[in-house]
A and B are shown apart, each in its own frame.
Chain A
Amino acid sequence: MDSYIPFCGTPPVPTELWTRWQFDPVLLAGLAALGAVLAFKARSRTPALVGWSLVVLLFVSPLCAASMALFSARVAQHLLLTLVAAPVLARAMPLRGPDVLPVACVFTALFWVWHVPGPYAATLQSDLVYWLMHLSLLGAAWLLWSSVLSAVASRPDTVVLGIALSAAQMSLLSALLVFARDPWHGWHMLSTVPYGLSPLADQQLAGGIMWVAGGALMLVAVAALVRLVFRAQDGPHYSAPSA
């Protein structure tokens, strides 16, 4: 157990960070497989390419290593994965699944589970759990945004409630991260110091990122969805009759 090195390696110091790209063959094979599925199945090419590139970047780039040192980097990675890559991929290749609300509940549960101490530590003890985390988060988010996009015209009520739930749980979790008196994750007790951050400050930064950037991404999604509904069925306009 002690000799285990997590998937993304040991926590890097800032100077070596930019050299820490992740070219694990299994990872590359998986990403290639995802690319192949998208190439054949995606409804539209551009979002497929954008979404896939982002996923590649999130796992191959030094962000993977950075998240070994900083919890805030991990949170940023998860936000980009679930709130940017997932909706873009859902647009390219919608998955079929249950209604928005049940999916939002599952997404909420997973989002909490993978950020609280016990399971979070487990992801750093086993490659399997590490991938379980990322695949379940990406899968649930992909499913969530797929069901949102398919229901937005026919059942906007569930979309509103589902997004409200997803946004609210994220705000609640981020508030706890910001206001907690002690750091949650033992792993980061020493890893953040080379970056000039205490573990607590790193955690507060993570909470702040989740709160503000996560909230902003949710807002963009909400505004885009409303516009989508209106573009589909904008009514005619009339001026006052000139008396």
Chain B
Amino acid sequence: MIDATADRPRQGPVLEELRTYEEAWATPPGWRRLSSVSHRVVGQRFIVTGLVFFLIAGFLALLVRTQLIVPENTFLDAETYNQVFTMHGTLMMFLFAIPILEGFGVYLLPLMLGARDLVFPRLGAFGYWCYLFGGLIVLASFVFDAAPDGGWFMYTPLSTKEFTPGLSADFWLIGITFAEIASVTAAVELIAAILCTRAPGMSLTKMPIFAWYMLVTAFMITVGFPPLIVGSILLEVERLIGLPFFDPALGGDPLLWQHLFWLFGHPEVYIIFLPAAGMVATMLPTFVGKPLFGYGYAVAAVVTMGFISFGLWAHHMFATGLPTITLTLFSAASTIVTIPTGVQIFCFILTLAQKRPRLTVPMHFILGFLFIFVIGGLTGVMLAAVPFNWQAHDSYFVVAHLHYVLIGGMVFPLIGAFYYWTPHFTGRMMSERLGKWAFWLMFSGFHITFFLMHITGLRGMPRRISTYPAGIGWDRLNLLSTIGSYILAAGVVVFVWDFIAHRWRGPLAPRNPWKAGTLEWLYPPIAPGHNFHAIPRVHSREPLWDQPDLLENEAHETRGLLRDAPHGRRETVGCHPLSGEPLQIVRLPHPTWIPLLTAFAVAVSFSAVLASLYDIAAAGAVAALFGFAAWAWEPSETGQTITTNDEGTLPVDVASRLGHTHIAIIGTLMIMVALFASVLFAVMFLWNVQPEFTRLAGDPDLFWTSIAVACGLGMSLVAWLARSAPMAVLDLAVALLAGVAGWALYQAVLPTDPMATALAATLWVMAGFIGTQQFVLLYWSLFLALRKVSGQVAAGQIVPEINRVPYALVTAGMLIAAAVVLAAPQLEVLK
């Protein structure tokens, strides 16, 4: 092992001549570091926390394998075994895979795109705390001996109160829903950051490929997570209050849960795969020394995958009695997904074919990814064939397939990414020697464990059984799989040891250690916390290859925009979403405790629901609302201008539909529409599977329904007017109309009894969801009125008014759709 030089890695440089600027960007020292909202700090928090969850979940996997090492083992009893495999899947899928990949996105994207921070740093910090608290709630179930034990997909009716009494399912539903807030907030933040803060000249087609993968992933999260959030809320409400969503005796359907779950669950697989594939597409060109082959085709394939993943959920349900006539079509649809996946894989292979790659540790993991993922893809094609699927369903073949796809498609690229980017975090190189040990141990251990599982599955061993009888052909295979899992774990231990020990043993990282072409390697590690002293103009996807002066000169002397900040504020360049040309200056927040406190208030609220302490839950929610108000209560800076060095004068926080806040609102609305569509799906699904329950619980009141629609339309109109004539009285009118619309909708559903039928219960949920939307508008409008009355707003500062228009319009659209659904059973013309 090379002995580290006595010199420590330094973050910087910190320039004396730019004192106010450097001070504005300094990270608070000591325990006050927790108030930092910088993407560099938040991203590392996500990554480290995700890694800890990975190790816990991996340990649980070893418990599972140890239990199965010999037949009729008594190492774990059946109940504990159920808890262990459930928590293994839950932690891996929800608390490791998505957050850690988002963490890499949060950390890397501003560096790659030429920004000093993400556009909404406080939102990122808030998301992290939600993730941490949600994860802790899930983990706390172990302490209360109430760990969830229904499998990571929590199928009803097993997970309903009748068959899972106690709190275990509640821990799962509440903790995971809370942690998902982190995922969706991070998704909105990444969308806005990728579209709105890129270096001058970086048009969409010149973005680093990783940004494309993350952009598509973020959009998929905004649409893909809401079905599970809705499903979890329905199930939790059924468990707490007894609304019969999943009860067939009252017009519900347990399959509704499966639909909602897999509407999320199938895209989830791609949400996990795509960022990792984006890492591969970033690292691979570095080691080959050639740009990614077929960039445009890869992007088209990724976008298509984003779309296709939402149409495939039924193939997880082949064994649930889907109509026979449609099975062939679903089977065909499932094989279609191989086309965009294949395009990407061939882009990688053809990149490799251009030149001999340097066989570094990350390159080993990339090759491992290609090998394992292709096998996983092939067994996926096998499972897409319905007859085979029925044969292999719920057997270890499926376990093998999903681990090939997830470990091959995500974990191997991720460990490669750790070796590749860790120098950026720590300023030191991880060990090539230990890295190769880690790779070969993981690679061989993986195949021993999981390749054999294909055979175990074909020999009929079902998944999720806590033990098995001896002598039916499963003994030796299970023994070998368990030994393999220990080898795999040894590889992970070597990696983790290297990740820890390189901090004092690793050699200092040189500037651009891998000779990469992307902008994050501009500074010698560790780059300063603000990422760029000046933001350079870029001309291609590989600026460090194409503009040699960037690496020939000192990084802090790079020519570019926004050098210095004599006003002592954090800011970065905002760009046109398409062309990447500078459009505005985005002001960024300084360290603050508000995200942590607000997330804590939400955590109190969620935990209190779990403990059935509804007063405390309400208090937590109110505290969170105050937190959000304090968050947004800052002077608007629209109308100021900043003179940049090269690009003339730019306005601050421009009031335009191209602004970052407007794009974030559009992203948020995608989440809201997806939530609403999930509820709508639940309503119409139940209506169609048990039609005789349609009008059993009473009919909604159509008079009040039409009042609600009228108020919704009026609210949109006033919001639209307020855009050109921002006055407090118009804000109050929006608030009033929003309030009346919500109240009228409540009156409309009041004649139906939500306890009587599942359909009526979902109608109440639909009304409740729209009521929440109305409440947001009411709260928002009162807030804006208060700001105007208290003299916080100057002329022309109309960003919030511009942003409120689409929110009001979409809410009105939801009201109309809801009105149609409420009225439809009573309308003769539709029958």
Contact = CB atoms under 8 A, between A and B. Distances in A.
B6 interface: no
A222 B303 CA distance: 8
A124 to B, nearest CB: 14
Interface residues of B, number: 63
Given A176-B685, A218-B307, A230-B300, A204 B323 contact: yes
Interface of A: 105, 116-119, 154, 156-157, 160-161, 163-164, 167-168, 171-172, 175-176, 178-182, 197, 200-201, 204-205, 207-209, 211-213, 215-216, 218-219, 222-223, 226-227, 229-231, 233-243
Given A171-B311, A243-B515, A118 B829 contact: yes
B609 interface: no
B605 to A, nearest CB: 31
A172 B670 CA distance: 16
A236 B540 contact: yes
A239 B578 contact: no
A171 B681 CA distance: 10
Given A238-B291, A239-B291, A211 B329 contact: yes
B322 interface: yes
B303 A118 contact: no
Interface stretch (B137-145, B231-239, B687-695): B687-695
B541 interface: yes
Contacts of B828: 118
A223 to B, nearest CB: 5
B545 A172 contact: no
A163 B219 CA distance: 13
Nearest to A207: B326
Nearest to B691: A182
Given A201-B325, A237-B540, A219 B308 contact: yes
Nearest to A156: B578
A36 B366 CA distance: 58
B336 interface: yes
A209 B259 CA distance: 19
Nearest to B331: A212
A204 B325 contact: yes
Given A168-B677, A211-B330, A239-B290, 20 more contacts: A156-B578, A157-B577, A172-B681, A176-B688, A178-B322, A182-B688, A204-B325, A208-B330, A212-B332, A218-B307, A222-B307, A223-B304, A226-B303, A227-B296, A227-B297, A227-B300, A236-B539, A239-B542, A240-B517, A241-B545
Contacts of A160: 219
Contact of B685 (A175, A207, A242): A175
A155 to B, nearest CB: 8
Nearest to A238: B546
Contacts of A209: 329
A238 B299 contact: no
Contacts of A154: 578
Contacts of B493: none
B303 A233 contact: no
Contacts of B206: 235
19 contacts: A156-B204, A157-B666, A168-B223, A179-B689, A181-B691, A200-B323, A212-B333, A218-B307, A226-B304, A227-B300, A234-B296, A236-B540, A237-B295, A237-B542, A240-B286, A240-B289, A240-B290, A240-B515, A240-B542
Contacts, number: 158
A190 to B, nearest CB: 19
A204 B326 contact: yes
A205 B336 CA distance: 19
Interface string B786-820: 00000000000000000000000000010000000
Interface in B258-297: 259, 286, 289-291, 295-297
Nearest to A154: B578
Q: Which 3 A-B pairs have the closest CB atoms?
A: A208-B326, A230-B296, A238-B546
B830 interface: yes
Interface string B668-712: 001000000100110011001111000000000000000000000
Given A205-B326, A209-B329, A230 B290 contact: no
Contacts of A205: 325-326
B688 A181 contact: yes
A235 B326 contact: no
B253 to A, nearest CB: 9
Contacts of A119: 829-830
B133 interface: no
B86 interface: no
Contacts of B578: 154, 156
Contacts of B25: none
Contacts of B661: none
A179 B205 CA distance: 41
Given A240-B515, A241-B545, A105 B304 contact: no
B363 to A, nearest CB: 14
A165 to B, nearest CB: 8
Contacts of B517: 238, 240
Interface string B553-597: 000000000000000000000000110000000000000000000
Contacts of B326: 178, 204-205, 207-208, 211
A28 B663 CA distance: 48
B541 A208 contact: no
Given A105-B813, A116-B830, A157-B577, A212 B303 contact: no
Contacts of B677: 168, 172
Contacts of B303: 222-223, 226
Contacts of B541: 235, 237-238
B205 A238 contact: no
Contacts of B539: 236
A47 to B, nearest CB: 21
A164 to B, nearest CB: 7
B289 A239 contact: yes
Contact of A230 (B205, B323, B545, B689): B205
